[in-house]
Chain A
Amino acid sequence: MAPASNGCTCSCLKVFANPVAKKMLMAITGIGLVAFLFVHLIGNLSLYAGPGGINAYGQTLHSLPPVVWAFRAGLILLLVVHIWLGIKVTLENQAARPTPYAQRTYLKVTLASRTMIWTGAIIGVILVYHILHFTVQMICPETAANTLKDTLGRPDVYTMVVSSFRKIGISLVYLVWMGAVALHVSHGVHSSLQTMGLAGEQTLPLWTRLALCVAAFVFIAYTSIPATILAGIVK
């Protein structure tokens, strides 16, 4: 074969321009972010254990700043790579078809697969809101856990969460957010497995169903919190 005598012709630098390498980076960072969704959920669900549960969780987390910051650094890296590649790939894909079809009938694409960039954008924008809300605690300063303490002197995360989600507007923002996450994940999970070469004729339909299950689980688990608070089950 003419181009090279042996091995792969992709140099280390060139490899990230390769369309398959870009896909794989998208897939790996995406899988990392989905894994984070599950880790984050463990903390969220501690709300159901009452003020003792989530306040203890919050205090434990903040007594370990190196761990929290290492986690945040990792997340920022995953997000930056995922968002940068998402935008780059979308622009390249749009450039690949400068003249659109007058008539188009899709046979296989899904709402999720066609809207990855838009659900991604919604996730990104509301993520900023979420950080301002629960990390920086700017959205509802009157119930900020940084100032409000529980009976044991711990930051009162429980009251902050419950009083925030009692406001229907805030709950709606999170509902939209989780809808976008679920749609994004319902394509992302099986797409990542296909991209990493872990799919075959028999397994791909299974991964598609797995992706739907993951999306449904994430949506239900996360939105259960504002839903139960609004319904008055969690007070």
Chain B
Amino acid sequence: MNLNLYVWRQKGPNAPGKLEQLQAKNISPDMSFLEMLDEVNEDLVRNGKEPIAFDHDCREGICGTCSQVINGIPHGPQERTTVCQLHMRKFKDGDSIYIEPWRAKAFPLIKDLIVDRSALDRIIQAGGYTSCHTGGVPDGNAILIPKPDADTAMDAAECIGCGACVAACPNGSAMLFTSAKVSQLASLPQGRAEAAQRVCVMTEAMLNEGFGNCSNHYECQAACPKGIKVSFIAKLNREFLKAQIK
């Protein structure tokens, strides 16, 4: 396959950026999207040019590091798939592909397609945990958890923190990300103790990081590679109401 790429190139956080047209030649349909970029980079290096800087780590779809908006969709056109798990067979020979970084004020651009997503870490640091005391290891079955609650918590825990929800949201809101963690912990007895505080401090952190407000476009759910549902946002809203009337 031969492809016509338009890739966002920007030397640094304050440097001007632009879409650069590049050719991807002799690409196998069995390659992943990142492998295709590796090939393009090999070509660029061979020609003495600067390779495209992009984030990647596990390449197994579980680390949430790869972060590219492909043809206007975070993680590209395949549903519930990260960029690393997207294969070139999803594209046709001769296609034009636009590749851009996550765009949000809270995600400052570092270089080319790499953005700094520490803002999500700081939301977690604000309250996305349970306070544990050291001591003996508690018995695994000492606290009974109903199966539906455990399932809800597990569904919410699927979030890999990639930031696609923020990239997809027309408002640059991090509600889906935050709601996943709030819902996961609020569904479990271990997390309930601090549920009221958690929802307040995490949503405040969201505001302080410069994320936008959720206005229920539900674009986040459609873009999430892990299928996190907007029903978790409703759960966060319920937790917030409960915290106010506590």
Candidate in A8, A23, A92, A191 with the most chain B CB atoms within 10 angstroms: A8
Residues of B223-246 contacting chain A, CB below 8 A: 223, 229-231, 233-241, 243-244, 246
Asked if residues A96 and B172 are in contact (CB atoms below 8 Å), the reply is yes
Answer yes or no: A190 CB below 8 A from chain B CBs.
yes
Asked if residues A97 and B72 are in contact (CB atoms below 8 Å), the reply is no
Asked if residues B237 and A96 are in contact (CB atoms below 8 Å), the reply is no
Answer yes or no: B162 CB below 8 A from chain A CBs.
no
Partner-binding segment picked from B31-39, B133-141, B207-215? B207-215
B57 contacts which chain A residues (CB < 8 A)? none
Chain A binding surface, main DSSP class: loop
Answer yes or no: A135 CB below 8 A from chain B CBs.
no
Asked if residues B170 and A114 are in contact (CB atoms below 8 Å), the reply is yes
- Please name the residue on chain B nearest to A99 by beta carbon: B103
Given A107-B219, A194-B234: A96 touches B131 (CB 8 Å cut-off): no
Asked if residues B71 and A103 are in contact (CB atoms below 8 Å), the reply is yes
Answer yes or no: A220 CB below 8 A from chain B CBs.
no
Answer yes or no: B106 CB below 8 A from chain A CBs.
yes
A204 contacts which chain B residues (CB < 8 A)? 230-231, 234
Q: Report the interface size for chain A: residues with CB under 8 A from the other chain.
A: 52
Given A103-B100, A108-B218: A199 touches B231 (CB 8 Å cut-off): yes
Q: Report the interface size for chain B: residues with CB under 8 A from the other chain.
A: 62
Asked if residues B105 and A95 are in contact (CB atoms below 8 Å), the reply is yes
Asked if residues A92 and B213 are in contact (CB atoms below 8 Å), the reply is yes
CB distance from B125 to the nearest CB of A (A): 9
Partner-binding segment picked from A13-21, A38-46, A153-161? A13-21
Given A93-B170, A95-B210, A96-B211: A198 touches B234 (CB 8 Å cut-off): yes
Question: What CA separation (Å) do A204 and B222 show in the bound complex?
Answer: 15
Given A96-B210, A107-B222: A102 touches B229 (CB 8 Å cut-off): no
A1 contacts which chain B residues (CB < 8 A)? 127, 129, 131, 194, 197-198, 201
Answer yes or no: B41 CB below 8 A from chain A CBs.
no
Given A1-B131, A19-B213, A114-B170: A102 touches B237 (CB 8 Å cut-off): no
CB distance from B187 to the nearest CB of A (A): 13
Question: What CA separation (Å) do A100 and B69 show in the bound complex?
Answer: 12
CB distance from B184 to the nearest CB of A (A): 16
Answer yes or no: B52 CB below 8 A from chain A CBs.
no
Answer yes or no: A9 CB below 8 A from chain B CBs.
yes
Asked if residues A116 and B241 are in contact (CB atoms below 8 Å), the reply is no
Asked if residues A197 and B201 are in contact (CB atoms below 8 Å), the reply is no
Given A1-B194, A17-B207, A113-B216: A196 touches B237 (CB 8 Å cut-off): yes
Question: What CA separation (Å) do A168 and B237 show in the bound complex?
Answer: 46
Asked if residues A108 and B219 are in contact (CB atoms below 8 Å), the reply is yes
Answer yes or no: A195 CB below 8 A from chain B CBs.
yes
CB distance from A3 to the nearest CB of B (A): 5
Asked if residues A194 and B233 are in contact (CB atoms below 8 Å), the reply is yes
List the 9 shortest-distance A-B pairs measured between CB atoms, nearest first. A96-B212, A197-B238, A96-B172, A105-B72, A93-B171, A107-B222, A197-B237, A103-B98, A93-B212
What are 12 A-B pairs with beta-carbon distances under 8 A? Answer: A10-B204, A19-B211, A23-B237, A93-B170, A97-B170, A102-B100, A103-B72, A107-B223, A113-B216, A197-B238, A198-B234, A200-B234
